[in-house]
Amino acid sequence: METENYHVAGWKHSGFEDKTVSSEVVPQRIFLDAKITEGAKKGYICRCLGSCGKQTLRRKPRNGLCPACGSYCAPATFASRAQSKMLANKHWSVVESNLVVSAIKELGLVTMTIGEDLESDLRRIARSRKDDYRRGHLYAHRHILGRPGLANGDLKSKAALRQALSRSNNVPIFVRAPDRASPGVMGKLIEAELEHRAGRRQMRGLSMSPQMLRYVHPTFGPSRGPITVEIDGDHEGLPVELKTVSTFEALERNPHKVCDMVMQLAGQAIAKNVDQGVLIIAERDGPRLTAIRIGRLRQYHCRNIARWVAELGIAHQLTEMTRKGVMIDVEL
């Protein structure tokens, strides 16, 4: 049986959110054609596959290409009014989940306490909001097939890596608009809701503003090109990855899901040149939210990539960093 410590998610002043922020904040880059601006609330919301990331354009891009960098843009799926109201009223309880901690420790990683400041910030974003009429931030971008280059998500599993390296340089395919009630879309909407709350409330150290980075992977080197990484947030200089699951018990029954999450967080840590990160997990079908600070991410990530490369028989170019620094800790 799992032992959990529940904390009441709330704030001592009932009108705290209304007093501190009176206008809606949309944490994204907004473009007018190729010109960057701030504060626009209407337009064509999409996700650029290049360096621009999430953005709002004045109009639908011509030929599906970003006016700033020329990369392809993925359209978005928006939440319904019922979903928007449900998400605004959803309240999570911040807990310490032994199930999640044990699953991460079984991977050979180190878990640490998150600290009072982060726990306080989690309580604030876990609290529901009254302005359920605001829903401009609740959207999920379409799933993309055949995107060019390597992204951090391509390194989360051996299957994903195999598929990514077998892709050609064809035009990416954007799948049809998914069911808004599907787990994938609901997960993205929950992530957008928590990001929105973090941007509107007074945080001690947690930021949920997305950041896009590109880096040369220590195992593949420059031969595979830079890896594109999108980081959900930041806490004390460490990457923050936000994930959703149906329940913590369902996550325990799917250990590969835990590995995928940690691999993505580890890739973000390497991109930021750190060895730790914070994983936040929220339940879609339950009221619980937890966070874990994880260490030894670089060694874990590079060990898995090196093993998958050997098993797949992929020819790769090792950098001096790999030869001198990483492979010392990697045993196939």
Most confident of 53-62, 86-95, 313-322: 86-95
- Say if CB 151 and CB 229 are below 8 A apart: yes
Whole-prediction pTM value? 0.78
Greatest Cα pair distance, the chain, in angstroms, is: 59
Residue written as tokens 């044990």? 102
Token pair in block for residue 105: 């420790």
Third-level CATH fold of 77-326: Lambda Exonuclease; Chain A (3.90.320)
Q: What is the pLDDT of residue 185?
A: 87
Is residue 155 within 8 Å of 267, Cβ to Cβ?
yes
pLDDT in tens, 291-329: 999 999 999 999 999 999 999 887 544 444 444 443 333
Scan for tokens 């876990």, then name that residue: 126
Say how far apart CA 148 and CA 72 lie, in whole Å.
10
- Going from the C-alpha of 251 to that of each of 22, 51, 237, the distances in angstroms are 38, 32, 28
3-state helix, strand, coil in the chain (%, to 5): 35, 25, 40
The partner residues of 79 in beta bridges, in order of sequence, read none
- How many CA atoms lie less than 13 Å away from 314 in the CB half-sphere? 21
Q: Residue 196: which of 277, 107, 124, 289 has the closest Cα? A: 124
Rounded to 5 degrees, what angle do the CA atoms 279, 191, 243 make?
30
Give the pLDDT of residue 282: 97
Look at residue 169 in the predicted model and tell me its pLDDT: 62
- The length of the chain in residues reads 332
